[in-house]
Amino acid sequence: MADSLNPKNINELSEEQIINLFAESRHRDHGIGIGDDCSVTDGPNGVKQLVSTDLVIEQVHFRREDISPRALGSKALAVNLSDIAAMGGIPKGFYLSLALPKDLSAHWLTRFRDGLLVLAQRHNISLLGGDTTRSQNDIVISITITGTVKPKHLKLRSMAEPGDVLCVTGSLGDSAAGFKVLSHPDRYSYLSDANRKQLVEHHQEPKPEVAKGKWLAQMEAVHAMIDLSDGLIRDSRHIASQSRCGVDITLDRLPLSAPFKAFHRAQIEQAQDFAAAGGEDYKLLLAIAADDLEEIQKKFKQKFNTPLHQIGTMKKGEPQLRTLRDGAPIKLEEQQFKHFKGS
Amino acid sequence: MADSLNPKNINELSEEQIINLFAESRHRDHGIGIGDDCSVTDGPNGVKQLVSTDLVIEQVHFRREDISPRALGSKALAVNLSDIAAMGGIPKGFYLSLALPKDLSAHWLTRFRDGLLVLAQRHNISLLGGDTTRSQNDIVISITITGTVKPKHLKLRSMAEPGDVLCVTGSLGDSAAGFKVLSHPDRYSYLSDANRKQLVEHHQEPKPEVAKGKWLAQMEAVHAMIDLSDGLIRDSRHIASQSRCGVDITLDRLPLSAPFKAFHRAQIEQAQDFAAAGGEDYKLLLAIAADDLEEIQKKFKQKFNTPLHQIGTMKKGEPQLRTLRDGAPIKLEEQQFKHFKGS
């Protein structure tokens, strides 16, 4: 195999470049959904099987002193459940690999297990296998999750159409704000305890929207779904590029929570920009046929007692993203999540 | 959930104790084969789906200066293919998660990819998904592999019967000797270059016995299979405890390669003991109905041009392991792989 790169250091490569390095072994005949939230292959009894995998590493994704083992166990599984939710799937089982440093207490491990298994039980999934080993310094958690979905309910990133309305299932930015609060507690002493707690909780214990994903998947008018893990801007770009459409994001319409507004001291434009960059929201982003929007919003509200927020539209043309405020395009600062070194 | 441990440090726990901590979420109704080389769930068209996952970590499983990136890529996939082989399965696809330190060169990564993809192509499997992230210091490789097997060909660790003959598909100990050569090159300067090379190659580029596993799985007289990853002693114990039989290992019969004998300067008893402890052999260990042994050995030799070595027997009674030499039980030193801290 020829090198497709000039000699470079890893930290000069984007995650996409690294993924593309391995792309030649991705044969489409073995399944669809590659590059989506889950891979899609044939499952039992005519259903499709979904698989997703996530790596969570100390010092990169969390600091041991910032997060309780219980919350960490919950979050490690939640981010995988969110991938199943984004495909409209039903989670089935998971595989857990752990590398643990010697200085870790058994108490820490039991609390980690408790957080993980409580969430597993809530979603009725079982641990099917895994691997344990020691590590030199850092905790490593690798979870692979499986699920199923009926073929007709499958919602890929590539299925959005020009004219579709882009919606999100909940408020944005809370997790990214919670991360900032954890990283620099002194800077945000103006926040009330309740607001601080809610932001940090969004970051540390995201609630995967499995029930919403499953319900939305049954709607024919819902064309495409993705979970918001990289942030609205990046995840919207994923839909746009895979659906070969443009996308407009209406910043004024982004749903923002009260604690998030308090975090930004009510500077709304700044809050909107930060929410658009975000990251780790674990809400669902979906493209819906415009004609059916109102009805689906109404039923969604009845079913989940929370609104489905319209935040943008898919456009004909190049897969480019525009952000609009007061009806006019504005340019946001380039996001921090672009490079591997910053992830 | 109640703590099932007294407060202890992680390094006082065995791998089994850590696995048992999570055991309560393992519901048998979701599948079989838990605690086997792969999990077994329902797959498409009446076949069973196999899944296995392995974590490979720098400083724990390898040192970057000791192994070429190409060999590492090959080995990381090989250990997973070996788990599919042990179930008599046909590998289908895999998921690759990588955590990479900033100082790694892109050249290293392309070589790693090459080693991995050459082996993937040889077994006709595709990369179906994964995750990439940076790491603080060490390379982390997590691979999850899937495969299929016809229900009637499934060979579990629990299926051995008293009276069965225990066999291995190739020579033992080469990998463990190769590891020693790499760790303390000066100690083994008496080895010829060719012998040294062969031992190191066994350690760094194990050949998963997928074709042999698939062939053996079709034989009704083959009752149980496992791949030799933990070493003959430990892996035989896995079969014994899961099949609720005793097991006798005949040390005099262990197949030893010429380079391995040279490594031990022809001290055969010492070589046998070391081969029995071993580790990372990635040969198959299987229990065969005694009446059919001769015929299967003959056909195996015809098919693969290498013998199937009889090395022990399964016994009625407690799931205990005995090692015999010259027909008499002898006690081997307790193995180094027992504790998590030593893995």
**Could you report the per-residue pLDDT of A244-298, keeping only the tens digit for each?**
999 999 999 999 999 999 999 989 999 999 999 989 999 999 999 999 999 999 9
At A338 the three-state DSSP class reads: coil
Residue type, B343: S
Mutate to test the interface with A, among B4, B24, B113, B118 (most CBs of A within 10 A): B113
Of B8, B93, B135, the CB nearest to A106: B8
Asked whether the beta carbons of residue B128 and residue A51 sit closer than 8 angstroms, the reply is yes
Mean pLDDT by 10 residues, chain A (343 residues): 58 78 61 74 93 94 93 96 96 95 92 95 93 92 96 92 97 96 93 97 95 97 95 94 95 97 94 94 97 98 98 95 94 55 34
Mutate to test the interface with B, among A55, A82, A94 (most CBs of B within 10 A): A55
Has residue B13 been placed in a domain? no
Which pLDDT does position B1 carry in this prediction? 41
Asked whether the beta carbons of residue B126 and residue A27 sit closer than 8 angstroms, the reply is yes
Segment B287-329, tens digit of pLDDT:
999 999 999 999 999 999 999 999 999 999 999 999 999 999 9
Residues B70 and B213 in one domain: no
- Mean pLDDT, all residues of chain B: 90
Residues A203 and A269 in one domain: yes
Asked whether the beta carbons of residue A104 and residue B9 sit closer than 8 angstroms, the reply is yes
**B167 close to A167: Cβ distance less than 8 angstroms:** no
Strand partners, B303: none
Cα dist. B18→A98, A105, A173, B229, B273 in Å? 10, 12, 37, 19, 28
Asked whether the beta carbons of residue A100 and residue B10 sit closer than 8 angstroms, the reply is yes
Residues shown for chain B: 343
Which pLDDT does position B32 carry in this prediction? 61
Asked whether the beta carbons of residue A60 and residue B5 sit closer than 8 angstroms, the reply is no
> How far apart, in whole angstroms, are the C-alpha atoms of residue A211 and residue B130?
24
Work out the pLDDT band at B31, boundaries 50, 70, 90. low
pLDDT at B265 over 60: yes
Residues A221 and A311 in one domain: yes
* Beta strands in A58-153, from DSSP E residues, in sequence order: 90-101, 126-135, 140-149
Of residues B208, B195, B186, B241, the one with CA closest to residue B86: B208
Residue for token digits 């799937």?
Answer: A89
Residues B172 and B235 in one domain: yes
- One-character DSSP codes across A180-215: HHHH-GGGGTTS-HHHHHHHHHHHHS----HHHHHH
Picking from A153, A171, A190, the residue at the C-terminal end of a domain is A153
Q: At what angle do helices A268-277 and A232-243 cross, to 10 degrees?
A: 50
Residues A62 and A196 in one domain: no
Question: A116: distance to nearest CA of chain B, Å?
Answer: 10
Q: Which residues of B touch A79 (CB under 8 A)?
A: none
Compute and round to an integer the Cα radius of gyration of chain A.
Answer: 20
CATH code, domain carrying A54: 3.30.1330.10
Residues B326 and B276 in one domain: yes
- Give residue B239's domain range: 157-342
Asked whether the beta carbons of residue A59 and residue B136 sit closer than 8 angstroms, the reply is yes
The H or E element spanning position B213 is: helix B210-217
User: Is A258 in the B-facing interface, judged by CB distances under 8 Å?
Assistant: no
**Which tokens hold the place of B207?**
């050949």
Has residue A54 been placed in a domain? yes
Put simply, the chain B residues between 121 and 160 with a CB less than 8 A from any chain A CB are: 121, 125-138, 140, 142, 144, 146
pLDDT at B173 over 90: yes
Residue type, B333: E
Asked whether the beta carbons of residue A133 and residue B104 sit closer than 8 angstroms, the reply is no
Which pLDDT does position B343 carry in this prediction? 34
**Which tokens hold the place of A108?**
């820490």
Has residue A271 been placed in a domain? yes
pLDDT at B5 over 70: no
Q: Taking the mean position of all CA atoms in its chain, how far away is CA A141? A: 17
> How far apart, in whole angstroms, are the C-alpha atoms of residue B326 and residue B253?
10
pLDDT at B25 over 80: no
pLDDT at B196 over 80: yes
Has residue A280 been placed in a domain? yes
Number of domains in chain A: 2
Segment B41-91, tens digit of pLDDT:
999 999 999 999 999 999 999 999 999 999 999 999 999 999 999 999 999
Q: What is the CB-side half-sphere exposure of residue B228 using CA atoms within 13 A?
A: 32
> How far apart, in whole angstroms, are the C-alpha atoms of residue A128 and residue A17?
32
